[in-house]
Structure 1
Amino acid sequence: MRFTSAFALLGLAASAMLVKAEEAAAAAPSDVQVLTEKNFADVVPKENLILVEFYAPWCGHCKALAPEYEIAATELKAEIPMAKVDCTVETKLCQDQGVQGYPTLKVFRSGKPVEYNGPRKADGIISYLRKAALPALSEITAADVAAFSQKDKVVVVGVLSKDDKNREALKAVADDLREKYVFAVVDESAAEAQGVKAPAVVLFKSFDEGKNVFEGEFTQASLTEFVKANAVPLVDDIGPDNYQYYMEAGKPLAYLFYDKEEQKAEFEDIKGFAKELKEEANFVYLDANKFGAHAANLGLDDGKWPAFSVQNVQDGSKFPLKKDLTMANIKEHVRGVLSGDVKATLKSEAIPDKQEGPVTVVVGDSYKDVVEDLDKDVLIEFYAPWCGHCKNLAPTYDILGGLYKDSKIVIAKMDATANDLPLGTPFTVPGFPTIKFRKAGSLEYTDYSGNRDIQAFVDFLKENAVNKVDVVVPEVAEKPEEHGHDHAEEEHDHAHEEVAKEAAAETETKPVAAGEVDHDEL
């Protein structure tokens, strides 16, 4: 592609502006505290709650997070401290904290860490930390209910007498879901104002009908189901900030792709249908202008909007609607998926007529025959054609395949953007490359997480394979390929959909030295 000199100058100007913006940001005063090995032990254990980012300056995902992190830190500076650690400098500290990728974020409560799995945008970080700072279950009065119910999008309030044993179940749910929702308990004096009879649990929300009242047996399981079922809108736009909620709900997820707001309006009746099937499925809109590439992951043709598909979030199976897109056909299709009358669509390339290279090529339709041949040990790489780490690994993997060619140890690969795993496969592909190993005689899979050089692979197979094959490792000039993954930020990611790309592990790495790996979640 040719560019005019005007475009070239424009690109240079944009680059210069970007550099100046980054320099200005670096020079600006920061509300993010810098932690080092010298002050970490003095600062972190003394804080009731602190969020710490472990990062590397070269990490692209860290750079993207930085302005959002700063905004959140400024907003929260009087409430909750936020800090960061440069792992290219504080290598020992990061190793001691178990940091394996960048950015890694951890919430420390009085020095005890848990992984931060919240949003990566400023408003999401702020909401997450404010919820985390509250008691798991706040004690409030009847006069507090109205104000407390506005604390977040979803607020759960138990109306229970002080000696009611049902408080134990509510407390257990609050402890488990505290990072997602706000919980409180009030005595029975609030019952009349809320139009309930104690014991009761009321879920307040800023959407749909505004309030739901729990009806059922007070158990942790039933209360958890009640909260999760009512904590998402009947139909909402799905994106990085709410994707994980739908995944955790575990129900089939029906997607309506649109590229204009008018297309959403054409299917206004879908809200009534979603309400009818509220206990069985979730419904979402998806903006095809932002996440259209995800259509291929759901068996749809990218670029043809509006479109509709259902996904079983438990096993990844997909059920695209191939008929005309009408509400009547949508209803018939969803009911057919739920009843089992509509069968899943599985994507597969053609099975190769013969294996040309040293690595066995696997496609969806040949997976069972090749990868689950119980007579053989199998090491399989799931890759994407655009994945930089997969390209870096390819020469090494080809050599490895040649060492075990025609043996009972199979070195295989599958393009996970063009092929689906068979239904029932006991894992998903979280990123590229993902490397799995299965011993002969077993259908259990283990992750390969070692270095990606010939000797490391051979040592792993020597230790773990049932079939023993003596190979001579060639002397080649190679450096270990880093433990990196590429995800859906570039094109389609078979497992981590583009709508989740900020919440799912995304990696762009440099050689592993002193923990230098770039890892991001949404």
Structure 2
Amino acid sequence: MRFSHFFSSATVLALVAAVAADAASDVINLTSDNFDAVVNPSSLILVEFFAPWCGHCKALAPHYEEAATALKEKDVKLAKVDCVDQADLCQANGIQGYPTLRVYRHGDYTDYTGPRKADGIISYMTKQSLPAVTDVTPANFEEFTKADRIVAVAFLTSPANAPGPEFIMTANKHRDDYLFGASADPAVADAAGITPPAIVLYRSFDEPTTEYPYPVGSAKSQDIEAWIKELSIPIIDEVNTENYQTYAQSGKPLAYLFVDPTDARREEYLSALQPVASKWKHNLNFVWIDAIRFGDHAKALNLNEPKWPSFVIQDIRKQLKYPYDQSQEVTAEEVDKMVAQYVDGKLQPQLKSQPVPETQDESVFNLVSKQFEDVVFDDDKDVFVEFYASWCGHCKRLKPTWDSLGDRYADVKDRIVIAKMEAQENDLPPSVPFRVAGFPTLKFKQAGSREFIDYNGDRSLESLVAFVEENARNPLDPKIPFRTKNDTQAQPETHEHHDEL
């Protein structure tokens, strides 16, 4: 049977054109078979993880091709991974959205943060190909150390000697974050008053000059990186939408002073708090925030009154809030005491909670923060909780199905709880090992366990029931007798006679 019986001539021509175009492409196709072999040896390569059905990927494709051709002359490679065809490879690399672009250097990557047009890609990757470390000379030393908010300079005995190679690795990783320079010229070290080898950080805030305090000869890239990151955050500075991620990614709790920016005493408040912030800098990041612009954020941190200044500590990782009593005046002395209690683990978080419902008439249990631990950590019961937000459209669509799930197990409430909790009105207690990041979030806790199982299936009743039946430890057929541990403990002991062998 001839080929033409299956395909039209137009289809054949299209396939031939597609093969020819792919053969002529300057973008390298990566698969699980060649990914490591291509990426790991490359000093610089841009990799796009894409899905063929993705509209943004389709729009990027011609620009990516054009940039690949232009950058080929500069020995800068561009590559792509089809995440439908190479699903396991993309999953192994933690790809969660399309397109995801990463700049790799010898197997290590940083996120691509440049434009998505051809000329922008070319410009960005050209800069990436240039040395990450500027050669510092006696002529440019003064200007260079003031050229950016944070400037790191390595004073070396020779470029090859420590900490030169590790410093270059740090610079390559953070070339978009900070300015890096190096010099092996004794005249530059003399001008700086530094004895090589040394690394010095120059800042436009706080202490303007800080020398690396540990043995510099044994400094590794991760040590230098951690040191710069620590010093890149001011003792106390304004936080806003532009720099919040810097604080969030630091891993430290955030201590906010909410201030009305038009208040004539604003600088007085900040000056008073400066010594406290300096004292506890290694434990928390201190910031001030526009209380008028970010009033809703204040409420989210359990500062319920529009009274400024107000102070609150937030454990960003656990999403726990420790507000200062708003009925009391904010003073540096009291803030210092509060922070000391927090650092010592003696300060209790304030949990937002709706009132405990007077009745529970529905088949789905209406859960609030005040009773979370008693209900969810009941060892006798399996518990399936939906964390929702009242405004969430997906949650509204799930509601009738979730109600039906509750109805299905209404006759076995003594052994399984189907519950719902308004997550934006109820904080999770510190004993809970997860935070809710999206809505709806569905979590299952088995009887006798403190571990939570994520539900990631579809939202049909059949799938939810199958998940419950698979994971529940208690019998869910009401005809099967069920006795809780407490019931068992309450039973009188019986002594049966048995002959011994």
8 Å CA contact 1:380–1:411 kept in 2: the answer is yes
Secondary structure, aligned partner of 2:228: helix
Q: Which runs of 5+ in 1 are unaligned?
A: 1-35, 472-522
> Given the alignment, which residue of 128, 153, 156 partners 1:133?
128
Q: Which residues of 2 match residues 340-489 of structure 1 at below 5 A?
A: 340-405=345-410, 406-407=412-413, 408-467=415-474, 469=476
The one-letter code sitting in structure 2 at the alignment partner of 1:138 is V
Partners of 2:182 and 2:143 in 1: CA distance = 14
Task: Indicate the larger mover: 112-121 or 356-365.
Answer: 112-121
> Given the alignment, which residue of 200, 203, 212 partners 2:201?
203
Partners of 1:119 and 1:397 in 2: CA distance = 43
> Given the alignment, which residue of 145, 151, 155 partners 1:155?
151
The one-letter code sitting in structure 1 at the alignment partner of 2:319 is G
8 Å CA contact 1:56–1:103 kept in 2: the answer is no
Partners of 1:271 and 1:131 in 2: CA distance = 42
Partner of 2:102: 107
Deviations 1:200-226 (A, max 9, x none): 221223333333222124554654442
Secondary structure, aligned partner of 1:202: strand
Q: Which residues of 2 match residues 75-114 of structure 1 at below 5 A?
A: 105-109=100-104
Q: Post-superposition shift, 1:284? A: 1.0
> Given the alignment, which residue of 187, 190, 193 partners 2:191?
193
8 Å CA contact 1:360–1:411 kept in 2: the answer is yes
Partners of 1:431 and 1:366 in 2: CA distance = 22
Partners of 2:224 and 2:54 in 1: CA distance = 45
> Given the alignment, which residue of 302, 305, 309 partners 1:306?
309
The one-letter code sitting in structure 1 at the alignment partner of 2:245 is Q
Q: State the identity as a percent.
A: 31
Q: Post-superposition shift, 1:119? A: 10
Partners of 1:287 and 1:463 in 2: CA distance = 50
**Aligned pair in 2 of structure 1 residues 433, 195: CA closer, same or farther (>3 Å)?**
farther
Partner of 2:294: 291
The one-letter code sitting in structure 1 at the alignment partner of 2:184 is D
Q: Establish whether residue 215 from structure 1 lines up as the match of residue 213 from structure 2.
A: yes
Partner of 2:270: 268
The one-letter code sitting in structure 1 at the alignment partner of 2:298 is A
Q: Establish whether residue 277 from structure 1 lines up as the match of residue 284 from structure 2.
A: no
**Aligned pair in 2 of structure 1 residues 335, 447: CA closer, same or farther (>3 Å)?**
same
Q: Post-superposition shift, 1:365? A: 2.0
Secondary structure, aligned partner of 2:293: helix
Q: Post-superposition shift, 1:255? A: 0.7
The one-letter code sitting in structure 1 at the alignment partner of 2:393 is G
- C-alpha RMSD of the superposition: 4.7
Partner of 1:6: none
Q: Which runs of 5+ in 2 are unaligned?
A: 1-20, 31-37, 479-501
8 Å CA contact 2:148–2:179 kept in 1: the answer is yes
**Aligned pair in 2 of structure 1 residues 361, 182: CA closer, same or farther (>3 Å)?**
farther
8 Å CA contact 1:293–1:302 kept in 2: the answer is no
8 Å CA contact 1:235–1:274 kept in 2: the answer is yes
Q: Post-superposition shift, 1:285? A: 1.7
Secondary structure, aligned partner of 1:393: helix
The one-letter code sitting in structure 2 at the alignment partner of 1:412 is A
Partner of 1:244: 245
Q: Post-superposition shift, 1:247? A: 2.2
Partners of 2:49 and 2:292 in 1: CA distance = 31
Deviations 1:349-382 (A, max 9, x none): 2233442222222222212122222333332222
**Aligned pair in 2 of structure 1 residues 165, 283: CA closer, same or farther (>3 Å)?**
same
Partners of 1:226 and 1:247 in 2: CA distance = 17
Partners of 1:298 and 1:119 in 2: CA distance = 34
Secondary structure, aligned partner of 1:455: helix
For CA contacts below 8 A with separation 6 or more, give which structure has more relative contact order: 1
Secondary structure, aligned partner of 1:268: helix
8 Å CA contact 1:49–1:133 kept in 2: the answer is no
8 Å CA contact 1:154–1:206 kept in 2: the answer is yes
The one-letter code sitting in structure 1 at the alignment partner of 2:425 is A
8 Å CA contact 1:138–1:183 kept in 2: the answer is yes
Partners of 1:176 and 1:468 in 2: CA distance = 54
The one-letter code sitting in structure 2 at the alignment partner of 1:206 is S
| Alignment coverage as a number of residue pairs | 418
Secondary structure, aligned partner of 1:423: coil
The one-letter code sitting in structure 2 at the alignment partner of 1:158 is A
**Aligned pair in 2 of structure 1 residues 332, 418: CA closer, same or farther (>3 Å)?**
same
Q: Post-superposition shift, 1:299? A: 1.6
Partners of 1:445 and 1:171 in 2: CA distance = 43
Partners of 1:393 and 1:119 in 2: CA distance = 39
Partners of 1:153 and 1:135 in 2: CA distance = 21
**Aligned pair in 2 of structure 1 residues 188, 215: CA closer, same or farther (>3 Å)?**
farther
Secondary structure, aligned partner of 2:443: strand
Partners of 1:297 and 1:354 in 2: CA distance = 27
Partners of 2:27 and 2:283 in 1: CA distance = 48
Q: Post-superposition shift, 1:120? A: 11
8 Å CA contact 2:276–2:332 kept in 1: the answer is no
Q: Post-superposition shift, 1:412? A: 2.0
The one-letter code sitting in structure 1 at the alignment partner of 2:102 is V
Partner of 1:226: 227
8 Å CA contact 1:50–1:80 kept in 2: the answer is no
